[in-house]
Amino acid sequence: MNRCVKCNVEILDNSQTCPLCHHVLSRQGDEGINTYPDARVAVRKFRFTENLLLFLSIVAETILIYIDYLTGDGINWSLIPGLGLIYANVVMQLAIVGKSGYMVKTLSLVVLAVASLFGIDYLTGYHKWSLEFSFPSAILLLDLAVLIMMIVNHRNWQSYMMVEIFTIVLSLIPVILLAAGVIQFPYLAIIALGTSVFIFLGTLILGDQRARSELMRRFHW
């Protein structure tokens, strides 16, 4: 058993350097110090679960497509659970096993969820509920996620301003579709745009100089 004298942790595997600070480990350990588990064991468990989910998803979707084919209706309804299986695998890969930041994970999962719902809408006759309800609701969910992350990471809240601008751009899409007559339900689209704009303005005004400095740094003003 090795010990890092710099971090004061005990390493349970045979690593030669500390996984926290990469300091060379010593061979002696003391009683009562903190222990650092073998992270490779946890990674292997997650990797096996990820591969198992992928294999079972392929088998399940293949069976569903075959049943769909035998019914004579063509490959249609079997793709709906397929979209759900794809989303479940992405959640496992991105949100659980992946090493990306929370904001990147949240953005990716929200965008994929909207795309999956649009696919389900299209496969079930395209009644446009994915554009009228799901898309604006996802933007509102993203706004809420940004607010929560700014509160949790209050020391670095200004780093989320670019995400706020991104949500404003996204919220313009339902409004444009509304103006073009593609969708007919106006309330969620307007609420999503207004919420995104007000959150950004609130951050800009309340953040004062720190917020403006972040924008100047991002856009090289």
Q: Which residues of 150-174 are buried (b: 16+ CB within 10 A; e: fewer)?
A: beeeeeebbebbebbebbbebbbbb
pLDDT tier, 43 (very low <50, low <70, confident <90, very high otherwise): low
Q: How far is CA 160 from CA 54, 60, 141, 148, in A?
A: 33, 39, 15, 11
- The pLDDT of residue 85 is 92
Q: Rounded CA gap, 172 and 190, in Å?
A: 9
pLDDT tens-digit readout, 155-201: 888 888 999 999 999 999 999 999 999 999 999 999 999 999 999 99
pLDDT tier, 27 (very low <50, low <70, confident <90, very high otherwise): low
Statement to judge: residues 19 and 45 lie in one domain: no
The total of structural domains in the chain comes to: 3
- The pLDDT of residue 38 is 53
- The pLDDT of residue 2 is 73
Statement to judge: residues 173 and 108 lie in one domain: yes
Which residue range(s) make up the domain with 130?
101-221
Closest-CA residue to 37 (of 80, 1, 87, 76)? 1
Statement to judge: residues 152 and 116 lie in one domain: yes
Statement to judge: residues 191 and 109 lie in one domain: yes
Task: Provide the greatest CA pair distance for the chain.
Answer: 73
Statement to judge: residues 70 and 122 lie in one domain: no
- The pLDDT of residue 194 is 96
Residue 30 pLDDT > 50, yes or no?
no
Q: Rounded CA gap, 61 and 24, in Å?
A: 49
Using an 8 Å Cβ cutoff, are 178 and 146 in contact? no
pLDDT tens-digit readout, 189-206: 999 999 999 999 999 999
Q: Rounded CA gap, 99 and 169, in Å?
A: 26
- The pLDDT of residue 29 is 44
Residue 66 pLDDT > 60, yes or no?
yes
Statement to judge: residues 46 and 33 lie in one domain: no
pLDDT tens-digit readout, 108-125: 888 899 999 999 999 888
Q: What is the dihedral of CA 103, 132, 186, 137, to 10 degrees?
A: -30
Statement to judge: residues 67 and 115 lie in one domain: no
Statement to judge: residues 85 and 181 lie in one domain: no
Average pLDDT, the chain: 83
Statement to judge: residues 183 and 95 lie in one domain: no
Q: Integer distance in angstroms from the first to the last C-alpha of the chain?
A: 54
- The pLDDT of residue 200 is 95
- The pLDDT of residue 32 is 45
pTM reported for the whole predicted model = 0.70
